Amino acid sequence: MSPRSSIRISKRFIRVWQRNLTVYQKIWKVVLLPPILEPIFYLLAFGVGLSVLVGAIHYHGSDVSYVEFIAPALIAINMMQSAFFENTYASFVRMYYQKTFDAMMATPLNLEEIMTGEIVWGATKSVIATAIMQGVISLFGLVQYPEGLLIIPLAFLAGIAFGSIGLFFTGMVRAIEMFNLPIFLFITPMFVFSGTFFPLENLPLWAQRLALFFPLTHLVNLTRSLSLGLMTPDLLWGLGYLLLFSLFFFPLAILRMHRRLIK
């Protein structure tokens, strides 16, 4: 059908997105709990437990408490994980075990639209999880408004970025267990070294530079600045990086899936 040379996407990808939403509506009660409970656990453990040892942190020219420092990082990590896990494990189950994509291919949808629907759904999961978690964290008075409202559209962009690279891995792995590899080599290092639980400046200079390649570094910085109400022009660099990252991995994910599924 669709020649390899061109990627053709119509708004029909919404149909794929709707399919995932319909399934989500059946199981939402189960999947809603983690984003509510996770920040509470983390805030209690790290915030209340560790903040006594840590005291205040110097961030972008102002002193912030440790709890204020890590709360936005928790939101950023949550954005990353929601989309990444949706477009790895969940997409893999749909592709490999349930053969959902095969069934869709026998309808007017094409592969590009199916994959776009998957990634946009991953981003939607990121937005849902962010809204819930941000709501909980806001109850503790840890998010500044109105700047904090921009975290929601940011969650969508982050979802596209991490969902795209997630689906790219889905197009590569032979078995579901192999997702351990990108998780240990990509997700876990970012989880700890992206300025999440301590300022990036505490790392040696070479490591700081390396961390700038991590999309999570920029996402944490953006989320933290918005949540602390610190709007500065240099945030645009981070935004630009996430955009570029998405523009690179989105077509790459589709190409990879094309090579895997179209025979």
Partner 1 sequence: MAYVIEAEGLRKSFGDLVAVDGISFHVVRGECFGILGPNGAGKTSTIRMIYGFSPMSGGSLKVFGLPISEGWRAIKARIGVCQQENNLDPDLTVQQNLEVFARYFDIPKKQASQRAERLLEFIALHHRKNAKVTELSGGMMRRLVLTRALINDPDLLILDEPTTGLDPQSRHQVWERLEELRSKGLSILLTTHYMDEASRLCDRLVIMDRGRILVEGEPTGLIRKHVGHDVIEVTAPSRQVRTYLETERLPYEDLGHRLLIYAKEGEKLFRKISNEYCQEGCILRMATLEDVFLKLTDRELRE
Q: Could you list the residues that contact partner 1 (CB under 8 A)?
A: 1-3, 12, 15, 18-19, 22-23, 26-27, 98-100, 102-110, 262-263
Of residues 98 and 180, the one with the C-beta less far from partner 1: 98
Nearest approach in angstroms of CB 203 to partner 1 is: 44
Of residues 5 and 232, the one with the C-beta less far from partner 1: 5
* Residue 250: both structure tokens together: 């989105």
Nearest approach in angstroms of CB 22 to partner 1 is: 6
* Residue 240: both structure tokens together: 């630009």
Of residues 224 and 256, the one with the C-beta less far from partner 1: 256
DSSP code at position 196: S
Of residues 95 and 136, the one with the C-beta less far from partner 1: 95
Point out which residues pair with 63 in neighbouring strands: 58
Nearest approach in angstroms of CB 241 to partner 1 is: 36
Nearest approach in angstroms of CB 177 to partner 1 is: 21
Alpha-carbon distance of 91 to 171, in angstroms, equals 10
When computed from its CA atoms, the radius of gyration of the chain, rounded to whole angstroms, is 19
**Rama region for 142: left / alpha / beta (φ>0; ψ in -120 to 50; rest):** alpha
Nearest approach in angstroms of CB 95 to partner 1 is: 11
Of residues 58 and 99, the one with the C-beta less far from partner 1: 99
* Residue 113: both structure tokens together: 């639209």
The kind and range of the H/E element at 64 are strand 62-65
The kind and range of the H/E element at 59 are strand 56-59
